[in-house]
Chain A
Amino acid sequence: MTEKIPVRLKVNGRYYDAAISADASLSRVLRDELGLMGTKEGCGTGYCGSCTVLIDGSAMKSCLVPAVTVGDREVVTIEGMSSPEHPLHPVQQAFVDAGAIQCGYCTPGFVMSVYALLRMNPKPTDEEIKRGLSGNICRCTGYETILSAVRLASERLSSVRE
């Protein structure tokens, strides 16, 4: 049994005290310790992107992030994307409107990646969108509608800004 390290996590603006073994991935801690089941694990080895979350604003694959390393950083999961005042984030709304959802298993990870992409680059070209989403796999949609969703979200978010 590996020793447990006490860590204070900040997830979606709330603090959690957890005892974590050093080899525990953030995705397992989010799901098993904090009960945040919106973050999915499709492969557990960093290939599919279903477990993407934001750490200090950057998208990362939480299945490869040692949870002990995020103690003083800000984690946002899919559950933190909406609030009672904003039931759907514009990125989420765009996924719904563009029909970019099929089985939905990759969806939370895609939403987080798109959020991070648009934060860095509010008006990406198609080429930049493709590069930005190269770490997320979707087996259902063929990506066509996901690309439309990103364009839609980009348009809406920039019109809000302007």
Chain B
Amino acid sequence: MESFSVVHQSKRRLEGEAKVLGKTRYADDFRLHREVAALPLYPAHPRAVILGIDCKEAESEPGVLGIITAKDVPGSNSLFGRFPVLADGEVRYTGDAVAVLAAETEEIARRALGKIRVDYKILPGVYSLEDAQACEISPVHPDRPDNTMENTFYPQYAGDVEEGLKRADIVLESEYNTSFAVNGYLEPDCVVAGEDSITGGIVIYGCIQNVYSIRGSVCAALGWPANKVRVVQTAIGGSFGGKNETAMVLAARAAVLHRKIGRPVRMRMSRSDVFRAGVKRHPYRFRLTVGCSKDGRITAWKNQVDTIGGPYNNQAMFANWRLAVHSAGPYRTPNVRTEVQAYYSNTPYSGAYRGFSAPQNSFAVESCIDELADAARMDPAEFRRINFVRPGDVITSGQAVGPGEMVLPLEAMLDDVLERGQYVRKKAEFEDFNARKGRYRRGLGLAAGYRGCGLGGEGFDVAGARMILEKDGSILVHSDMVDMGQGLRTSHAQVAAEALGVGLERIRMAETDTSCVPDAGPTVASRGLSAGGMAILMASEDLKRQLLEGLENHWKIPGGTAVLNGEVFRSADGSLSMGFDEAVSLLTNSKGLGFSGRGWFNPGTVHIDPKTGQGNCYPAYLSALSLTELEVDTFTGSITVSKVTLAYELGRAVNPDIVRGQLIGGYVQGLGYALSEDLRTSEGLVKNTSFGSYLMPSVSDVPEFDLRIFEEDFSTGPYGAKGIGEVGVELAAPGVGNALFHAAGIRMRRLPFSKDLVATRMLLMEKEGADELL
């Protein structure tokens, strides 16, 4: 392994002190001069025709400054994915806005909002996957009569699945369902639109995950070019994929309203509105027919996957592509037939939430693998071991496993996890314990997975960075990738310092601003470091080369011979040397030179056949493995996850503490998805609209973790980093489900695992005469 001086070390977060002092300014923590509050009028019905809107009474309220409806949108009222800025003619879900009203204070705005009269003709809505597929209700969009979303059908075909099923000794059919889930970032969405005091254009401030796409949307809504709109990201209080479409429509509404009334407009969402209007994780349904031989070798994997995505589609095309590629797991499965399809619905929209489609897919695949192991009467660990792909194999999309991007050391990781988790001993102990048929049962559950890094076939995985050297030796770095709390700025700064050969304290990471770095796409798909860090690395090398050239000219030594290490420049023979500050001062003050570095990373395109889902789909893959230990109270269905042993292969941990924080934090989100986060909708309405009914894990729900990171010297990202923002969330649900089966003999095929179902099923299973009371 190479030796490093700044990366591969747990440096403290650059912004940690500001955050712990409460000094960090999030989107709602500053005020613009003469700003006003704006609130949207959400529809009273999830699906209805708007017959008329009467704003007169509301407009005449003292303190009301203006109201906009669809007719006020000067540019396009249809943003990316068909999201309207304001509902035009028809409302299609509870988060559409019929009007937006601005007033001197939020209190006045709220009062006045109630005075806007809207006439609706209520329409029957498409409220479930079954509704969408049945086509008995008028389609969500007339141009999609079967409700299918455009560009969301993705297959993966390999071998001949019917032949594979024929050859199987054991065939299993199983259906798994997942629910809507919310990102649950603690900072509610907030955007401010004001005048750019220099250009007269617009500047948007907000907690926005993808500043460039939001700039594009604001431009589209106003009919303006990009040079008149600037988007500045404030500190973000969590996003996990969520501050995208909602932020997009907020920004467009605020911009249109700002242009109409001439004062800065703040749009701040309440928590309940975030629940009603904000993004949800896709609720996929998996129908699996799988087969294996008597000795446990998988012969066929047939997987029909469907989901609803709400009335607009920003993300299903990407989520479904990712799902199709990973739909058979990291196993040697010669015959695969997966088809993934998304449908329009009049429900909240589905979009990006950490993991994208992977947490759902991992739940289905890894539960099914355990069911197959059970059917084959094999230990789930051994079943996985004989089926894992290994060097020389191809994964189900045809990419070859080998050193570099496709290391997949799953077998080694399995051995490690079984050993650290004391699998054999505990399994025997737990089974003895459970044989006593007491109130509590204990179980162990495995889950494994792999994850394509970056966008892969979802889009160009490009990234940009720029850096400026100040005369005092400070270095200002601009990246197009945003820090939402994951620690990206710190990791980026470490990469910059390492690549330049200087200390971390010289680096200052700038705020994200569309006017500083070209648009290189969104900070998604765990690519902030893997792609964004490459751009930083390239910019650092660019800057360093300029500095070395300057000094080589000064020393009159041949080009390409000087080096910079540990803040000291040296000639090749070591006879000449100069400290960093001195050299920078010499080159800038005495010679009048200026230095800035530029990096643009473009890994090229991936190759995939859209008709079969075969090809090199992602530039690199991570591997993940977990062993979950839990105790279930069979009386109450209460599940206590006590310990989780984790292993991840992730290339290189640029900052091990930050990596651990991402993996553990992700896992705990996954535990919420498995156990307590149950977003319910009824007829298109969200039933739980607060953190009091949508229960995210609190500190007492957290188990003990034993995490080991596997590193590899060779990979595509900066210093070998692969990108770990999402993978942590994937294994929790299947791990808990499998452990629950081991503990109590109940297979739960729907998320989340509700206590009441566990308790009532246990009672029916075990107690004779339970109907005495039931």
Binding site for B on A (CB under 8 A): 31, 37-48, 50, 77-79, 81-82, 88, 92, 95-97, 99, 101-108, 111, 129-131, 133-134, 136-147
Contact A144 B271 (CB under 8 A): no
Further 11 A-B residue pairs, CB within 8 A, beyond A42-B186, A45-B691, A143-B698: A42-B271, A43-B271, A92-B20, A101-B16, A108-B20, A134-B699, A136-B698, A140-B486, A141-B668, A142-B667, A146-B699
Please name all residues of chain B whose beta carbon is closer than 8 Å to the beta carbon of A79 when the two chains form the complex. 21-22
Please name all residues of chain B whose beta carbon is closer than 8 Å to the beta carbon of A96 when the two chains form the complex. 12-13, 16-17, 20
Interface 1/0 per residue, B691-733 and A, CB below 8 Å = 1100011111010010000000000000000000000000000
Contact for B692 among A47, A82, A130, CB less than 8 A: A47
Specify the main secondary structure of chain B where it touches its partner: loop
Q: Is B270 an interface residue (CB 8 A)?
A: yes
Per the bound structure, the CA–CA distance linking A131 and B699 in Å amounts to: 8
Contact B15 A134 (CB under 8 A): no
Contact B237 A40 (CB under 8 A): yes
Contact A139/B700 with A77-B22, A99-B12, A101-B16 known, Cβ cut-off 8 Å: no
Per the bound structure, the CA–CA distance linking A48 and B21 in Å amounts to: 19
Contact A99/B186 with A48-B691, A107-B20, A130-B699 known, Cβ cut-off 8 Å: no
Please name all residues of chain B whose beta carbon is closer than 8 Å to the beta carbon of A143 when the two chains form the complex. 668, 697-699, 702
Contact A44 B271 (CB under 8 A): yes
Q: Is B462 an interface residue (CB 8 A)?
A: no
User: Which residue of chain B lies nearest to A46 when distances are taken between CB atoms in the complex?
Assistant: B692
Interface 1/0 per residue, B3-35 and A, CB below 8 Å = 000000010110111111111111011100000
| 9-residue interface stretch from B155-163, B657-665, B752-760 | B657-665
Q: Which of A31, A106, A129 has the most CB of B within 10 A?
A: A106
Q: Is B219 an interface residue (CB 8 A)?
A: no
Contact B271 A139 (CB under 8 A): no
Per the bound structure, the CA–CA distance linking A103 and B236 in Å amounts to: 7
Per the bound structure, the CA–CA distance linking A52 and B87 in Å amounts to: 38
Please name all residues of chain A whose beta carbon is closer than 8 Å to the beta carbon of B25 when the two chains form the complex. 37
Contact A137 B696 (CB under 8 A): yes
Contact B13 A99 (CB under 8 A): yes
Give the residues from 568 to 613 in chain B that come closer than 8 angstroms, CB to CB, to chain A.
none
Give me 11 A-to-B residue pairs in the complex whose CB atoms sit less than 8 angstroms apart, sorted by A's number. Answer: A38-B21, A42-B186, A102-B665, A103-B186, A130-B700, A138-B699, A142-B664, A142-B669, A142-B702, A144-B661, A144-B664
Specify the main secondary structure of chain A where it touches its partner: loop
Binding site for A on B (CB under 8 A): 10, 12-13, 15-26, 28-30, 183-188, 235-238, 240, 270-271, 484-487, 657-658, 660-661, 664-669, 690-692, 696-700, 702, 705
Contact for B22 among A38, A103, A133, CB less than 8 A: A38
Please name all residues of chain A whose beta carbon is closer than 8 Å to the beta carbon of B185 when the two chains form the complex. 103, 105, 139
Q: Which of A31, A107, A129 has the most CB of B within 10 A?
A: A107
Contact A43/B661 with A105-B26, A111-B20 known, Cβ cut-off 8 Å: no
User: Which residue of chain A lies nearest to B17 when distances are taken between CB atoms in the complex?
Assistant: A96
Contact for A141 among B26, B29, B237, B664, CB less than 8 A: B664
Per the bound structure, the CA–CA distance linking A146 and B702 in Å amounts to: 12
User: Which residue of chain B lies nearest to A1 when distances are taken between CB atoms in the complex?
Assistant: B107
Q: Which of A31, A88, A103, A134 has the most CB of B within 10 A?
A: A103
User: Which residue of chain B lies nearest to A92 when distances are taken between CB atoms in the complex?
Assistant: B20
Q: Which of B30, B185, B485 has the most CB of A within 10 A?
A: B485
Contact A43 B691 (CB under 8 A): yes
Shortest CB-to-CB span from A48 to chain B, Å, is 5
Per the bound structure, the CA–CA distance linking A143 and B657 in Å amounts to: 14
Contact B690 A139 (CB under 8 A): no
Per the bound structure, the CA–CA distance linking A2 and B433 in Å amounts to: 64
Contact B188 A42 (CB under 8 A): yes
Please name all residues of chain A whose beta carbon is closer than 8 Å to the beta carbon of B699 when the two chains form the complex. 129-130, 133-134, 136, 138, 143, 146-147
Please name all residues of chain A whose beta carbon is closer than 8 Å to the beta carbon of B665 when the two chains form the complex. 102, 139-142
Contact B691 A145 (CB under 8 A): no
Please name all residues of chain B whose beta carbon is closer than 8 Å to the beta carbon of A146 when the two chains form the complex. 699
User: Which residue of chain A lies nearest to B187 when distances are taken between CB atoms in the complex?
Assistant: A105
Contact B186 A50 (CB under 8 A): yes
Per the bound structure, the CA–CA distance linking A137 and B668 in Å amounts to: 12
Please name all residues of chain A whose beta carbon is closer than 8 Å to the beta carbon of B485 when the two chains form the complex. 102-105, 140
Contact B705 A144 (CB under 8 A): yes
Contact A37 B661 (CB under 8 A): no
